[in-house]
Structure 1
Amino acid sequence: MEVQSAQQTVDAPVEKHRHKHTWTVDELGPRYKWIALSNTTLGMLMATINSSIVLIALPDIFRGIHINPLESSNTSYLLWMMMGFLVVTAVLVVGFGRLGDMFGRVRMYNLGFAVFAVSSVLLAVTWMDGATAAIWLIGWRVVQGIGGAFLMANSSAILTDAFPAKQRGLALGINGVAAIAGSFLGLVIGGLLGPVQWHLVFLVSVPFGVFGTIWAFLKLRDTSERRPAKMDWWGNLTFAVGLIAVLVGITYGIQPYGSHTMGWTSPMVLSCLIGGVLVLIIFAVIETRVANPLFNLSLFKIRAFSFGNAANLAASLGRGGLQFMLIIWLQGIWLPQHGYSFEQTPLWAGIYMLPMTVGFLVAAPVSGVITDRIGGRLLATVGMVATAVSFLLLLILPVDFNYWAFAAILLLNGLGMGLFSSPNRADVMNSLPPTSRGAGAGMTATFQNSAMVLSIGFFFSLMIAGLSDSLPGTLNQGLTAHGVPADAAAGIAALPPVGVLFAAFLGYNPIQQLLGPVLNQLPADQASFLTGRSFFPNLISAPFSDGLTAAFWFAIIVCLVGAVASWFVGKPKPLAATVPQESVGSELAAEGGELVNILPDDTPTAVLQRPRRAVGRPGEISGTLRTNSGAPIAGAVITVTGADGMQVGRARAGQTGAYALDGVRPGTYTLIVTAPGFQPAAASVTVNGLGAVHDFVLLGGGVVAGTVHRSGGTPVEGTAVLATDGTGQVVGQATTAHDGKFLLTGLPAGEVTITANVDGHRPHAVTVLAGAAEPADVELLVEAVGVLHGTVTGPDGLGLANATVTISDSQGRTVATTLTDDEGHYELHDLEPGEYTVVTSLYEPAVRQVDLNTGETTTVDVDLASGARADAAS
Structure 2
Amino acid sequence: MVHKHHAPRDPHYKWVALSNTTLGMLAASINGSILLISLPAIFRGIGLKPLEPSNVNILLWSIMGYMVATSVLVVTFGRLGDSLGRARIYNLGFLIFTVCAVALSLIPGSGPFAAWYLIAVRVVQGVGGAMLMANSTAILTDAFPKDQRGLALGINTVAAIGGSFIGLLIGGLLADINWQLVFWINVPFGVIGTAWAYWKLKDRTAPKHRPVDWIGNFTFGIGLILILIGITEGIQPYGAHAMAWTSPEVLGLLIVGLALILVFLFVEQRVAFPMFDLKLFRIRPFSLGNLASLGASIGRGGLQFMLIIWLQGIWLPLHGYSFEETPLWAGIFMLPLTLGFLVATPVSGYLSDHHGARPFAVGGMLLGAASFAALMTLPPDFSYPLFALLLFVNGLGSGLFVAPNSTAIMNSVPAAERGQAAGMRATTLNAGQVLSIGIFFSLMIVGLTEQLPAAMEAALVQQSVPEAIAHHAASAPAVASLFAAFLGYNPMGELLSPDVLASLPAANAAEITGKTFFPHLMAGPFMHGLVFAFTFSMTLNLLAAAASWGAGGKFVHAEAEPSKEAVPAAE
Distance in structure 2 (CA, Å) of the matches to 1:398 and 1:462: 19
Corresponding residue to 1:320 among 301, 311, 319: 301
The total of aligned residue pairs comes to 570
Q: Once the 2 structures are TM-superposed, how far is the Cα of residue 359 of structure 1 from its aligned partner?
A: 0.2
- Residue 21 in 1 paired to residue 21 in 2? no
Corresponding residue to 2:520 among 522, 533, 538: 538
Distance in structure 1 (CA, Å) of the matches to 2:345 and 2:139: 19
Corresponding residue to 2:146 among 165, 170, 179: 165
Corresponding residue to 1:478 among 436, 451, 459: 459
Q: CA RMSD in A?
A: 1.6
Query: What letter matches 1:526 in structure 2?
Result: N
Distance in structure 2 (CA, Å) of the matches to 1:295 and 1:29: 32
Corresponding residue to 2:380 among 399, 402, 414: 399
Q: Once the 2 structures are TM-superposed, how far is the Cα of residue 587 of structure 1 from its aligned partner?
A: 10
- Residue 559 in 1 paired to residue 541 in 2? yes
Q: Secondary structure at the match of 1:343?
A: helix
Relative to structure 1, is the Cα distance of residues 446 and 458 closer, same or farther in structure 2, using a 3 angstrom cutoff?
Answer: same
Corresponding residue to 1:37 among 13, 18, 23: 18
Question: Residue 366 of structure 2 corresponds to which residue in structure 1?
Answer: 385
Q: Once the 2 structures are TM-superposed, how far is the Cα of residue 182 of structure 1 from its aligned partner?
A: 0.3
- Residue 569 in 1 paired to residue 559 in 2? no
- Show the 5 A alignment for 1:299-314: 299-314=280-295
- Residue 186 in 1 paired to residue 186 in 2? no
Q: Once the 2 structures are TM-superposed, how far is the Cα of residue 646 of structure 1 from its aligned partner?
A: 3.9
Question: Residue 430 of structure 1 corresponds to which residue in structure 2?
Answer: 411
Q: Secondary structure at the match of 1:260?
A: coil
Contact 1:177 1:365 in 2 (8 A): yes
- Residue 520 in 1 paired to residue 483 in 2? no
- Residue 67 in 1 paired to residue 51 in 2? no
Distance in structure 2 (CA, Å) of the matches to 1:378 and 1:486: 59
Normalising by structure 1, what TM-score? 0.64
- Residue 123 in 1 paired to residue 104 in 2? yes
Distance in structure 2 (CA, Å) of the matches to 1:219 and 1:235: 33
Contact 1:387 1:417 in 2 (8 A): yes
Contact 1:433 1:591 in 2 (8 A): no
Q: Deviations over 1:666-721 (max 9, x none)?
A: xxxxxxxxxxxxxxxxxxxxxxxxxxxxxxxxxxxxxxxxxxxxxxxxxxxxxxxx
Distance in structure 1 (CA, Å) of the matches to 2:278 and 2:244: 34
Query: What letter matches 1:439 in structure 2?
Result: Q
Corresponding residue to 2:204 among 223, 244, 252: 223
Q: Deviations over 1:422-474 (max 9, x none)?
A: 10000000001111000011011112211111111100000010111111110
Distance in structure 1 (CA, Å) of the matches to 2:568 and 2:31: 41
- Show the 5 A alignment for 1:771-790: none
Contact 1:464 1:547 in 2 (8 A): yes
Distance in structure 2 (CA, Å) of the matches to 1:279 and 1:346: 39
Question: Residue 342 of structure 2 corresponds to which residue in structure 1?
Answer: 361
- Residue 547 in 1 paired to residue 529 in 2? yes
Distance in structure 2 (CA, Å) of the matches to 1:491 and 1:67: 24
Larger radius of gyration: 1
Normalising by structure 2, what TM-score? 0.98
Query: What letter matches 1:21 in structure 2?
Result: H
- Residue 102 in 1 paired to residue 92 in 2? no
Query: What letter matches 1:535 in structure 2?
Result: F
Contact 1:382 1:416 in 2 (8 A): yes
Corresponding residue to 2:471 among 486, 490, 495: 490
Q: Once the 2 structures are TM-superposed, how far is the Cα of residue 207 of structure 1 from its aligned partner?
A: 1.0
Question: Residue 137 of structure 1 corresponds to which residue in structure 2?
Answer: 118
Query: What letter matches 1:446 in structure 2?
Result: T
Contact 2:135 2:423 in 1 (8 A): yes
Distance in structure 2 (CA, Å) of the matches to 1:93 and 1:304: 20
For structure 1, the 5+ residue unaligned runs are 1-13, 594-643, 649-874
Q: Once the 2 structures are TM-superposed, how far is the Cα of residue 525 of structure 1 from its aligned partner?
A: 1.3
Distance in structure 1 (CA, Å) of the matches to 2:331 and 2:497: 29
- Residue 466 in 1 paired to residue 447 in 2? yes
Corresponding residue to 1:376 among 352, 357, 372: 357
Q: Deviations over 1:721-742 (max 9, x none)?
A: xxxxxxxxxxxxxxxxxxxxxx
Contact 1:433 1:587 in 2 (8 A): no
Distance in structure 1 (CA, Å) of the matches to 2:62 and 2:126: 12
Q: Deviations over 1:383-426 (max 9, x none)?
A: 00000011101111111100011000000000000000010000
Distance in structure 1 (CA, Å) of the matches to 2:564 and 2:106: 50
Query: What letter matches 1:402 in structure 2?
Result: S
Distance in structure 2 (CA, Å) of the matches to 1:411 and 1:571: 26
Contact 1:433 1:588 in 2 (8 A): no
Q: Once the 2 structures are TM-superposed, how far is the Cα of residue 72 of structure 1 from its aligned partner?
A: 1.1
Contact 2:83 2:210 in 1 (8 A): yes
Higher relative helix content: 2
**Which shifted more, 150-159 or 450-459?**
450-459
Distance in structure 2 (CA, Å) of the matches to 1:587 and 1:396: 47
Q: Once the 2 structures are TM-superposed, how far is the Cα of residue 287 of structure 1 from its aligned partner?
A: 0.7
Q: Secondary structure at the match of 2:204?
A: coil
Distance in structure 1 (CA, Å) of the matches to 2:184 and 2:568: 50
Query: What letter matches 2:72 in structure 1?
Result: V
Q: Deviations over 1:808-844 (max 9, x none)?
A: xxxxxxxxxxxxxxxxxxxxxxxxxxxxxxxxxxxxx
- Residue 282 in 1 paired to residue 263 in 2? yes
Distance in structure 2 (CA, Å) of the matches to 1:565 and 1:516: 53
Query: What letter matches 1:145 in structure 2?
Result: G
Higher relative strand content: 1
Question: Residue 176 of structure 1 corresponds to which residue in structure 2?
Answer: 157
Q: Deviations over 1:733-759 (max 9, x none)?
A: xxxxxxxxxxxxxxxxxxxxxxxxxxx
Distance in structure 2 (CA, Å) of the matches to 1:73 and 1:542: 28
Query: What letter matches 2:458 in structure 1?
Result: Q
Contact 2:227 2:258 in 1 (8 A): yes
Q: Once the 2 structures are TM-superposed, how far is the Cα of residue 513 of structure 1 from its aligned partner?
A: 2.0
Distance in structure 2 (CA, Å) of the matches to 1:59 and 1:381: 38
Query: What letter matches 1:412 in structure 2?
Result: V
Q: Once the 2 structures are TM-superposed, how far is the Cα of residue 571 of structure 1 from its aligned partner?
A: 3.2
Query: What letter matches 1:506 in structure 2?
Result: L
Q: Secondary structure at the match of 2:496?
A: helix
Q: Secondary structure at the match of 1:295?
A: coil
Q: Deviations over 1:468-508 (max 9, x none)?
A: 11111101111101111101110011111100011111111
Identity of aligned residues (%): 57
Distance in structure 2 (CA, Å) of the matches to 1:589 and 1:292: 22
Q: Once the 2 structures are TM-superposed, how far is the Cα of residue 645 of structure 1 from its aligned partner?
A: 4.8
- Residue 410 in 1 paired to residue 391 in 2? yes
Distance in structure 2 (CA, Å) of the matches to 1:231 and 1:519: 62
Query: What letter matches 2:5 in structure 1?
Result: H
Distance in structure 2 (CA, Å) of the matches to 1:479 and 1:40: 54
Q: Once the 2 structures are TM-superposed, how far is the Cα of residue 572 of structure 1 from its aligned partner?
A: 3.8
Distance in structure 1 (CA, Å) of the matches to 2:563 and 2:271: 20
Stretches of 4+ aligned residues off by more than 2 angstroms: 586-593, 644-648
Distance in structure 1 (CA, Å) of the matches to 2:494 and 2:313: 13
Contact 1:48 1:182 in 2 (8 A): yes
Question: Residue 253 of structure 1 corresponds to which residue in structure 2?
Answer: 234
Query: What letter matches 1:167 in structure 2?
Result: Q
Distance in structure 2 (CA, Å) of the matches to 1:74 and 1:481: 31
Distance in structure 2 (CA, Å) of the matches to 1:485 and 1:591: 76
**Which shifted more, 188-197 or 36-45?**
188-197
Contact 1:434 1:587 in 2 (8 A): no
- Show the 5 A alignment for 1:818-833: none
